[in-house]
Amino acid sequence: MATLNELLDHPLTKPVDISKVEMKKAVVVLRAEFGDDPFKGNHEHPEVDALDFYLSNHVVGLLQAKNTDAKKLTRMEQSLVERYVKRQTLSALRAFSYLLLICTREMRHCKGSTLSKCKITNEEKPFYDFLRSDLKKSGESNIANQIWDGTMSMELGGWTSVLEKLFRHGSWSGGYGGKAWAEVTLCLREYVHGVYTAEMMIDTIWTLCHNNGPIFNKGMIYKHHGHELLRILDVQRAGQIPNFFWGETASGWYKDYLADAADVFPELLEDANIQAIKSTAVHPALWKGSQYATPGLHSVKPQTHGQNAINVTKVGAVR
């Protein structure tokens, strides 16, 4: 059996600087997982990936609290960690793909910018010139396809840094781009430059909003989000994700994983009959008759959700 430290010595949990990687080389990996067309294929619901991450991350966190890094895990404990690493590695690729595509495509709405205003360095000027000229000549779907066809030789570091600067300092019409998108792009840029681990990027992406709500409405890689995403964030904030699953709504991989985790941590489901949180800060009416509202959970002050205000996880402060 391996130790927890050995199993988590992985690109999922370790910072990796990929800023010098050319986009076309990264896309080779992404296309192998998600197909030749980002608008088609087997897209995942963001709610499914979010629940998948929060449940298995919760369990791994319990293992980290229980074990020293050098202690050998039991067979079941090792299985729980291995499943976490495998599934979240795929989730990280999906999150990275989506952020890269949507942040680049949104740039077509930029009304104006200058090198000095956007604080563009000499090294960044080729990225700036491409984003402000060549890219704007492409249509909405062509921009995504231009990235996804694997011919762009731009390095990821310069690309994501200039995207973030243009969103933050460029001129934008209401409802497009601007500081909301700068915060979305910041998550991508921090991952590319090795500031965020892949795990941190996944933990953050569910909380990101553009000017009109959660980011998962662009028709690529993920299916369109539903109102359940905000409920999931409220339940995650309360630390009650395992309880959220343990009922008629849990099935398949989730129920098997949670049952195995409960064998290791019997206390995990001691309060299985608590009620789900009601998000009065969002749309309380949406909770009526919800399949996610399990009767019985202690009252928790809900997180206020809004544009770039859904940072409710362990990664960083509320923005």
CA distance 319 to 312: 10
Better-predicted residue by pLDDT, 276 or 61: 61
What percentage of the chain exceeds 70 in pLDDT? 79
Query: What number is the average pLDDT over the span 98-118?
Result: 89
Question: Is 253 inside a domain boundary?
Answer: yes
Contacts of 32 (CB under 8 A, 6+ apart): none
Q: Distances in Å between the alpha carbon of 249 and those of 43, 58, 79, 242, 294?
A: 21, 19, 24, 12, 10
Residue 51 has pLDDT above 80, yes or no: yes
**Is the pLDDT reported for residue 288 higher than 70?**
no
Element (H, E) at 232: helix 228-237
Residue 250: the pLDDT is 55
304-311: average pLDDT: 33
Task: Flag whether 274 is in a domain.
Answer: yes
Given this model, what pLDDT does residue 7 score? 95
Q: What is the pLDDT of residue 189?
A: 97
* Structural domain contains residue 298: no
Residue 299 tokens read as 């009252």
Number of domains in the chain: 1
Assess if residue 140 is contained within a domain.
yes
DSSP per-residue codes, 27-88? HHHHHHHH-S-TTSS-PBPHHHHHHHHHHHHHHHHHHHHHS-TTSBPPHHHHHHHHHHHHHH
Mean pLDDT along residues 287-315: 32
Whole-number Cα distances in Å, 5 to 91, 92, 227: 21, 20, 37
Identity of residue 11? P
CA–CA gap between residue 122 and residue 128 (Å, rounded) = 10
Higher pLDDT, 289 or 131: 131
Q: Helices (DSSP H) in 67-111: which residue ranges?
A: 75-106
The 10s digit of each residue's pLDDT in 158-192 is: 999 999 999 999 999 888 999 999 999 999 999 99
Radius of gyration, alpha carbons of the chain: 21
Residue 135 lies inside a defined structural domain of this protein: yes
Cβ neighbours for 215, distance < 8 A, ≥ 6 positions apart: 98, 102, 184, 205, 208, 209
How many whole angstroms from its chain centre is CA 108?
23
The answer as to whether 305 is a domain residue is no
Reported as a single tens digit per residue, the pLDDT across 120-129 is: 999 999 888 8
Q: Is residue 95 part of a domain?
A: yes
Identify the domain containing residue 217 by its residue range: 4-287
248-254: average pLDDT: 61
Residue 306 lies in a domain: no
Taking 50 as the threshold, does the pLDDT of residue 230 lie above it? yes
CB 266 within 8 A of CB 66: no
Could you read off the pLDDT of 67-84 as tens digits, one per residue?
A: 777 889 999 999 999 999
**How many other C-beta atoms lie within 10 A of the C-beta of residue 311?**
19
pLDDT of residue 140: 65
